[in-house]
Amino acid sequence: MQLLARLRAGLAALQWRDFALAQAPCSFCGPSIFVRFNRDETGVRCLRCAASAVHVAMGWALRAQRLDLAATDACEFSARGPLVAYLHRHARSLKVSEYFADLPSGAMRDGVRCEDMQRLSYADASFDLVTHTEVLEHVPDDALALAELHRVLRPGGRLLFTVPLFDSDSTVERAYLRDGVIEHRLAPSYHRDPLRSGEGILAFRDYGSDILTRLQTAGFVAPSLYIAPQKIPWITTPRIVVIAQK
Between residues 61 and 145, which has the closer beta carbon with respect to Zn ion?
61
- Measure the CA–CA gap between 88 and 185, rounded to whole angstroms: 40
Q: Which one of 10, 26, 74, 159 is in contact with Zn ion (CB under 5 A)?
A: 26
Is 48 a binding residue for Zn ion by CB under 5 A? The answer is: yes
DSSP letter, residue 187:
-
Cross-strand partners of 225:
242
Q: Which one of 10, 28, 42, 131 is in contact with Zn ion (CB under 5 A)?
A: 28
Is 44 a binding residue for Zn ion by CB under 5 A? The answer is: no
Is 29 a binding residue for Zn ion by CB under 5 A? The answer is: yes
- Measure the CA–CA gap between 208 and 165, rounded to whole angstroms: 6
Cα torsion angle, 88, 132, 109, 5, sign: negative
CB 224 within 8 A of CB 240: no
CA distances from 52 to 32, 35, 58, 71, 239 (A): 13, 10, 10, 27, 11
Is 6 a binding residue for Zn ion by CB under 5 A? The answer is: no
> Which candidate, 108, 101, 77, 72, places its Cα nearest to that of 89?
72
Between residues 26 and 83, which has the closer beta carbon with respect to Zn ion?
26
Q: How many helices (H) and strands (E) does the chain have?
A: 5, 17
Q: Which one of 46, 146, 149, 241 is in contact with Zn ion (CB under 5 A)?
A: 46
Between residues 185 and 196, which has the closer beta carbon with respect to Zn ion?
196
Is 235 a binding residue for Zn ion by CB under 5 A? The answer is: no
Least distance to Zn ion, CB of residue 25, Å: 9
Binding residues with Zn ion: total (CB under 5 A): 8
Least distance to Zn ion, CB of residue 49, Å: 3
Q: Which stretch binds Zn ion (CB under 5 A): 48-56, 87-95, 192-200, 228-236?
A: 48-56
Q: Which residues bind Zn ion (CB under 5 A)?
A: 26, 28-29, 32, 46, 48-49, 51
